[in-house]
A and B are shown apart, each in its own frame.
Chain A
Amino acid sequence: MEFSELIRTGQAQAELLRGPEMPPLRGTLCVTGHHLLLSPGPQATPDLWLLLLRSVDSIEKRVAGDAGTITLRCKDLRVLQLDIEGVEATLDIARSIEALSSLESVITSFPFFYRPKGLRLGESWHFHPPERYYKRVARETRAWRLSEANEDFSLCPSYPRAVIVPRAVDDDALARSARFRQGGRFPVLSYYHAPSGTVLLRSSQPLTGPQKRRCTEDEELLQAVLAGARPGARGFIVDTRSAQAAKQARMTGGGTEAKSAYPGWKRLHRPLERGRPLQESFVHLVEACGDLEQSMDRWLSRLDGCRWLSHVKEALSTACLAAQGMEWEGACILVHGAEGTDSTLLVTSLAQLILDPLSRTMAGFQELIEREWIQAGHPFQLRCAHSAFSHTRPKHEAPIFLLFLDCVWQLGRQFPLSLEFGEGMLLALFDHSYASPFGTFLCNSEKERCLCEVRTRTHSLWSGLNQPKEQRKLRNPLYAPNPLAIWPSVEPQSLRLWQGLFLRWTHPPEPSEVAWEKVWQIATDQEKTEGSQPTDSASEPQP
């Protein structure tokens, strides 16, 4: 397809308003296949302003006299205003942006064209696959194996090629279990908790249906999990739906594990919000955050009404429950909801952050996201197709990944020294999950990514983020490795609105940024003085 068909105008004169704190930019506006460009001329700083069209969430145009105004609301929650000379030019530019920002095709998206200096294609792509995690598990226990039964994605289209399963279960049994689970997502290992020898598993709901069907292989698989942990080990199934919703799911072929069929396993229901209600919660919160004039009462009532912080609290407490089951009860935990690609991943990944010190490092966190979200088949393309400003009716959009990032931010606030990455990292992940020049968050599953050759034809976000120049933005200068589990408080008094994200553009936190810079300075001073001291005294004397 030719982008030129969609671009209706070459260029126009325009003024860009980027919010109250930033000076307006004046110059020539131009639409290309993937970008909106504004060039204010060679003397100006910056001499070029770029916006990835993919990051436009909604567009609004108004014309008056012989000029027009376009308001762009971006997926990163930024609101931009373009004042354009000429009515025709305004309408043409608006139409071009509309058409180009909503292209469905993956392989014509910008990551397939993005070739930054200093990065090589294919770099970092083999950086975090499940194989690597299996090596860690295999060092601790012999009860698990790496199965390549899903090599051709025939068992489960949303799983990666290789998954970690109990050694006692063969690939045929896996295939049967897969047929008994929605979308073929049979129980696989998500995390091995070495101190207690217990494991965290995830899957989708069993297809028991109204007849309460059973599957011997599926039951044996979970039995093998308990046997592999230690004799007499117990298990808990954390169902992220309410008991009633789980029961109702039987009518449509789904359901939940029957007590009698899975001895040793006990079911707990922890309903977590997902899908459209979660998306609406996000939309309402962003709306409330955009209103600078509202009274205190109105703000508090909207903050309450959108329920976002309730979702944060519930996600965190469910993750804590799973983590506690492992560390304190010595039990194995299986997490699933319906499809097992959303709230399930939220719970398993948060539980790991709480328990596993490695996942709190920069590399470990990237590995966690790669393993527990990207490879685990969270449908990023569907969930992040639109952000909070879109006028189109949400279909599959839901900010589950954002909810995860918010929970991590809350952890970071309560344990400010225990995460190696800072708020900047979380913000970058949010931005890139909705629109990115990198290929990491493209598609909905490994299978799709293979079909589109994402790995060979796009750059990995991780190689972009791990460049030295990015580090000051992304890292936590106060990080000190903490070998213990971090148990957050989930009381409403301890949770806060993530201002750095939700108020990033409406309300620039300038003084706190300066303060943060100072923290960096103190921390790096420390490294410098500590590091240089011996060399100073050793090298000085030589005249």
Chain B
Amino acid sequence: MEHIRTTKVEQVKLLDRFSTSNKSLTGTLYLTATHLLFIDSHQKETWILHHHIALVEKLALTTSGCPLVIQCKNFRIVHFIVPRERDCHDIYNSLLQLSKQAKYEDLYAFSYNPKQNDSERLRGWQLVDLAEEYKRMGLPNSNWQLSDANRDYKICETYPRELYVPRIASKPIIVGSSKFRSKGRFPVLSYYHQNKEAAICRCSQPLSGFSARCLEDEHLLQAISKANPANRYMYVMDTRPRLNAMANRAAGKGYENEDNYSNIRFQFVGIENIHVMRSSLQKLLEVNGTKGLSVSDFYSGLENAGWLRHIKAVTDAAIFLAKAIMVENASVLVHCSDGWDRTSQVCSLGSLLLDPYYRTIRGFMVLIEKDWISFGHKYSDRCGHLDGDPKEVSPVFTQFLECVWHLTEQFPQAFEFNEAFLLQIHEHIHSCQFGNFIGNCQKEREELKLKEKTYSLWPFLLHDQKKYFNPLYSSTSQKLAVLEPNTVSFNFKFWRNMYHQFDRTLHPRQSVFNIIMNMNEQNKQLQKDVKDLESQIKQHKNKQTDGVLTKELLKSVRPESPALKTSLCLKEQTLLPVKDALRTVEGSSPADNRYSEYADEFSKAEPAVVSSEYGVARMTC
């Protein structure tokens, strides 16, 4: 509270991000302990969570006031004009303080109270149970067992307590291997494919330098290999570009030497590091934030940003992984440098391709909980939850979500969830409203007592799951059991709904999703009605022993049939959103679009002179 000087500023203007004229909405700006709120003259509210703020900028004073630009982590960009510089300065300073907290305890999750009692809260946390998930995979079995080596986080601080390792790998081997791996992250199981008896394992890079080797590590890899009876060799995927891995050798790290490990096939897959990804996203956002962007600038910008190239690289790596298991029956060990960024991307995406369970709403939560949260993806560092090193921030998880989105585009029937689900998860990795993504590893989360002090996101998503269903989902399709995506370049597209989620003018004006959802529901209801009516008729028939139902009786059936009535009401109701869709069409006035600004010439005095950028560009060529 001490950071808030001004709580309310009137006559603030909100500028349209893409308008080249200075079209704006006027309203009142409120500053609360957790949110910045703008209410315009039509009473439309815009809420911005302080934790979502990535950057606040105060621009040079103009005649109409002091411009304040806020960039959010969910890619919302708002541009306010505050009439008095003093107010602007106060808000600017407050937001600077409020958006960057120094302590975990000051994050929103620790004060957020959705009015649940402790047992509800606990049940929420138990909703996703990883022990249950390993059981689902068929573990433990004759080859794999639960290891208690890391029970007290003694071997690896950033791993979870419970880890699955080959049954023949003894504790000394594990301990020895962990000493040979960066941050002690030794090879453990991430996913077990029951039919193929092959495993996806993960670790960090070996501390091999130019010549060092470690017998225990070699044993452990051999044990993983032997745990797969179907295949003698295993793959070791280094997800880094070869050059990066080589450079690491000079620092005493590096990659596995094929000569030292028996029966491994070593493979680089060339995904760039977090710094490259951060600047790539930065470039992408610069391009798509440009006012009056031409088609040509957009595509050359997309190319320069390299973002889609990175998305393709991650997807290609996951396909390599899935193929090794499906086609060659081989187990795969995945690592990068520390084994918590690229490794998480590739392992989780690979499992998603292999196992339809992870493509359900609940399964996707489990997948994130397993490969990202429990294996120590550093959410707080990567999302910049606290005021820290900006070089640690990187959109690794966003990239994963985008890869999944591309899969949902290519396989519209393979996922139980829709785009909104992915967007909502993305919203919450930054919101700090729930405890799931706070902290960098399980140990840290336990120390923060998140399960006692905060709530889990998953039950809230499940509660709203109607919003996240994909109406075209086909859970039984055999063809879609294992996904084999085609990563030809055409298939990678700019994800407009993520990077322009809040720029409504760029979106399609009508939603197919809503209407199919409605149709589906209506169909179900109508089919139920038909059944109800049929059973009622049957009852009547049974009563009438002579078996003839007169017209009169039928008439009496109809009005009293509640099902029919509800169906009629329902029709009215479900049709309403469709009309809403129409209203949004109405809302899409030409004024919302940029061609309306070409039309400024309608009112210009001199008609023969072409001033728009288009005319000029054409005239010069």
Given contacts A310-B295, A492-B298, contact A266 B595 (CB under 8 A): no
Tell me whether B71 is interfacial, beta carbon within 8 Å.
Answer: no
Contacts of A244 on B, CB cut-off 8 Å? 619
Measured CB to CB, the nearest residue on chain A to B589 is A487
Contacts of A236 on B, CB cut-off 8 Å? 602
| Residues in chain B within 8 A of chain A (CB atoms) | 18, 288, 293-300, 302-303, 306, 308-309, 312, 410-414, 471-472, 474, 480, 486, 488-494, 496, 499-500, 505-512, 515-516, 519-520, 522-523, 526-527, 529-530, 533-534, 537, 540-541, 547-549, 553-554, 557-558, 561, 564, 567, 578, 581-582, 585-586, 588-590, 592-596, 598-599, 601-602, 607-610, 614-615, 618-619
Measured CB to CB, the nearest residue on chain B to A307 is B296
Residues 259 to 317 of chain A near chain B (Cβ within 8 Å): 259, 266-271, 289, 292, 294-301, 303-304, 307, 309-310, 312-314, 316-317
Is the beta-carbon distance between A268 and B295 smaller than 8 angstroms? no
Is the beta-carbon distance between A522 and B413 smaller than 8 angstroms? no
Tell me whether A51 is interfacial, beta carbon within 8 Å.
Answer: no
Chain A window 490-533, contacts with chain B (Cβ cutoff 8 Å), 1 for yes, 0 for no: 11111111010001000100011011001100110110011011
Measured CB to CB, the nearest residue on chain A to B582 is A482
Binds B, one of A138-146, A174-182, A340-348, A412-420: A412-420
Chain A window 205-239, contacts with chain B (Cβ cutoff 8 Å), 1 for yes, 0 for no: 00000000000000000000000000000001000
| Residues in chain A within 8 A of chain B (CB atoms) | 236, 242-245, 259, 266-271, 289, 292, 294-301, 303-304, 307, 309-310, 312-314, 316-317, 320-321, 323-325, 327-329, 331, 413-418, 478, 480, 482, 484, 486-497, 499, 503, 507, 511-512, 514-515, 518-519, 522-523, 525-526, 529-530, 532-533, 536-538, 540-543
Is the beta-carbon distance between A321 and B526 smaller than 8 angstroms? no
Is the beta-carbon distance between B18 and A491 smaller than 8 angstroms? yes
Residue of B472, B488, B537 near A537 (CB, 8 A) is: B537
Contacts of B537 on A, CB cut-off 8 Å? 537, 540-541
Contacts of A325 on B, CB cut-off 8 Å? 599, 602
What would be 22 A-B contacts, judged by CB atoms less than 8 Å apart?
Answer: A243-B608, A295-B309, A300-B303, A307-B296, A320-B590, A321-B595, A327-B590, A482-B582, A482-B585, A487-B589, A488-B593, A489-B505, A489-B588, A491-B18, A491-B505, A492-B294, A511-B412, A515-B412, A525-B519, A540-B533, A541-B537, A543-B541
Residue of B540, B592, B618 near A487 (CB, 8 A) is: B592
Contacts of B554 on A, CB cut-off 8 Å? 537-538, 541
Measured CB to CB, the nearest residue on chain B to A486 is B585
Is the beta-carbon distance between A533 and B414 smaller than 8 angstroms? no
Is the beta-carbon distance between A511 and B414 smaller than 8 angstroms? yes
Is the beta-carbon distance between A413 and B506 smaller than 8 angstroms? no
Given contacts A482-B585, A491-B18, A526-B522, contact A267 B607 (CB under 8 A): yes
Contacts of B18 on A, CB cut-off 8 Å? 491
Is the beta-carbon distance between A496 and B493 smaller than 8 angstroms? yes
CA distance A268 to B602 in the complex (A): 8
Is the beta-carbon distance between B500 and A480 smaller than 8 angstroms? no
CA distance A431 to B491 in the complex (A): 24
Measured CB to CB, the nearest residue on chain A to B612 is A270
CA distance A242 to B616 in the complex (A): 9
CA distance A328 to B596 in the complex (A): 10
Is the beta-carbon distance between A537 and B557 smaller than 8 angstroms? yes
Measured CB to CB, the nearest residue on chain A to B607 is A266
Is the beta-carbon distance between B410 and A511 smaller than 8 angstroms? yes
Given contacts A242-B610, A522-B471, contact A416 B306 (CB under 8 A): no
Residue of B297, B299, B557 near A303 (CB, 8 A) is: B299
Contacts of B413 on A, CB cut-off 8 Å? 511, 514-515, 518
Is the beta-carbon distance between B303 and A304 smaller than 8 angstroms? yes
Is the beta-carbon distance between B610 and A269 smaller than 8 angstroms? yes
In the complex, the 7 A-B pairs of residues with the closest C-beta atoms, listed nearest first:
A304-B299, A492-B298, A299-B489, A515-B412, A300-B303, A271-B618, A266-B607
